[in-house]
C-alpha cells in the first residue's frame, strides 16, 4: 500500500506545472492537461498502481509515492544528519569587524585554517563575506583569501567557489569573526554564541560542550517544525530566519515563499 508523499509540490511555472519532491529533489515539468489527468491518478494511489503500474512505479521511484508505513520525517532527519553533520563540504563565512588590525590578524589565521582544511580531505569549499561596509580594505582581504584558497584547492583537487550559491548545499557552515568561531550566521557575535576560537596555527579550539549541545539538539525538533510540510524544502532558510525572528515562523509573515524556493531549486538543477 502506498500514499502520496507529504513533501510533493505542484507549482505553476512558465505556463506549465512544475513537479517537485523535497526529499528526493526530483523535478520536472508537465503541461496543465497532463497535470489534471495525473492529479486524478494521484488522488487514488491504489487504482493508479494497478491501472498504470509502469507510470506509478516511476513516480514511486522519484519519491512522489511512499509506502504507508514510511515515516518521511524520519527519512528527512536521517538525510539531514548524514549531509549536515558528516559532510566533508565546508561553507566558511568571513565577517569583518570595524578594526583593521583585528581583520588583518583574522585573515592570517584563516589562511592557516584553509591549509589545514585542504590537508583534512574536504571535498568542496565555499567562501562568503559579511560586514563588507565596515572596512574599506575588503577588496584586498578578498583578493588575499580567494587567491590563496584557489591555489590550495587546485593543488588538492578540491571544488572551490568564491561565493555560496543562492540556495546553499547541505554543508557544515561556520562564521569567523575577530578570532571567534560561530555556528551558521549568528545574530550577534557574543561569547554566548561563540563555539570556538581560531588559533594562530589555523586550528579551531572548539568549545566541546557547546558543540555537543548544538549537534544534539537539531533545530527543527519542535512541534511547530515537525508538523510543517515545508521542512525538507526550507530547512536552510528557516534555520537562519528563525534565529533572526526569535522563533517566529518565517512562513507566517511571508518572509519567504515555498513556491519561490521550489522554482529556484529547479532552475539551479537546469544549470
User: SS in 3 state form for 44-57?
Assistant: CHHHHHHHCHHHHH
Asked whether residue 265 is assigned to any structural domain, the reply reads: yes
Asked whether residue 142 is assigned to any structural domain, the reply reads: yes
Asked whether residue 82 is assigned to any structural domain, the reply reads: no
The domain of 104 spans 87-216
Asked whether residue 120 is assigned to any structural domain, the reply reads: yes
- 226 with 125, same domain? no
The reported pTM is 0.58
Is beta strand 16-21 parallel, antiparallel or unpaired with respect to 8-13? Answer: antiparallel
- 191 with 231, same domain? no
Which are the contacts of 239, defined by CB distance < 8 A and separation ≥ 6? 184, 219, 220
- 185 with 235, same domain? no
The length of the chain, given as a count of residues: 271
- 117 with 233, same domain? no
Full pLDDT tens readout for the chain, 271 residues: 999 999 999 999 999 999 999 999 999 999 999 999 999 999 999 999 999 999 999 999 999 999 999 999 888 887 776 665 555 678 888 998 888 889 999 999 999 999 999 988 788 888 988 875 555 678 888 899 999 999 999 999 998 986 555 444 444 678 999 999 997 777 788 888 899 999 999 999 988 777 766 655 566 777 788 888 888 888 767 766 776 666 678 777 677 789 998 999 999 887 6
Q: Which of 40, 70, 100 is the last residue of a domain?
A: 70
- The answer to whether the CB of 219 falls within 8 A of the CB of 242 is yes
Structural domain tally of the chain? 3
- 115 with 137, same domain? yes
Q: Which of 70, 104, 126 is the last residue of a domain?
A: 70
Provide the β-strand partners of residue 196.
Answer: 181, 206
Asked whether residue 75 is assigned to any structural domain, the reply reads: no
Q: Which residue has the cell 512558465?
A: 14
Amino acid at each position: 500500500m502506498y500514499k502520496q508523499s507529504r513533501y510533493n509540490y505542484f507549482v505553476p511555472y512558465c505556463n506549465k506545472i512544475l513537479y517537485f519532491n523535497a526529499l528526493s529533489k526530483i523535478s520536472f515539468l508537465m503541461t496543465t492537461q497532463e497535470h489534471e489527468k495525473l492529479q486524478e491518478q494521484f488522488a487514488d494511489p491504489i487504482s493508479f498502481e494497478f491501472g498504470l503500474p509502469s507510470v506509478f512505479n516511476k513516480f514511486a521511484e522519484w519519491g512522489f509515492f511512499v509506502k504507508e508505513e514510511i515515516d518521511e520525517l524520519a527519512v528527512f532527519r536521517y538525510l539531514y544528519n548524514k549531509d549536515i553533520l558528516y559532510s566533508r563540504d565546508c561553507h566558511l563565512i568571513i565577517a569583518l569587524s570595524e578594526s583593521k588590525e583585528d581583520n588583518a590578524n583574522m585573515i592570517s589565521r584563516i589562511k592557516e585554517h584553509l591549509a589545514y582544511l585542504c590537508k583534512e580531505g574536504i571535498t568542496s569549499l565555499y567562501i562568503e563575506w559579511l560586514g563588507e561596509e565596515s572596512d574599506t580594505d575588503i577588496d584586498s582581504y578578498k583578493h588575499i583569501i580567494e587567491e590563496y584558497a584557489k591555489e590550495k584547492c587546485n593543488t588538492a583537487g578540491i571544488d572551490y567557489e568564491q561565493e555560496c550559491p543562492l540556495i546553499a548545499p547541505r554543508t557544515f557552515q561556520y562564521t569567523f569573526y575577530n578570532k571567534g568561531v560561530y555556528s551558521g550566521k549568528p545574530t550577534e557575535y557574543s561569547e554566548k554564541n561563540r563555539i570556538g576560537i581560531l588559533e594562530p596555527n589555523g586550528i579551531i579550539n572548539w568549545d566541546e560542550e557547546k558543540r555537543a549541545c548544538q549537534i544534539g539538539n537539531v533545530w527543527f525538533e519542535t512541534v511547530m517544525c515537525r508538523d510543517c510540510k515545508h521542512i525538507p524544502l526550507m530547512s536552510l532558510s528557516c534555520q537562519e530566519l528563525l534565529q533572526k525572528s526569535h522563533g517566529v515562523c518565517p512562513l507566517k509573515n511571508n518572509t519567504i515563499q515555498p513556491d519561490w524556493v521550489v522554482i529556484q531549486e529547479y532552475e539551479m538543477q537546469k544549470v
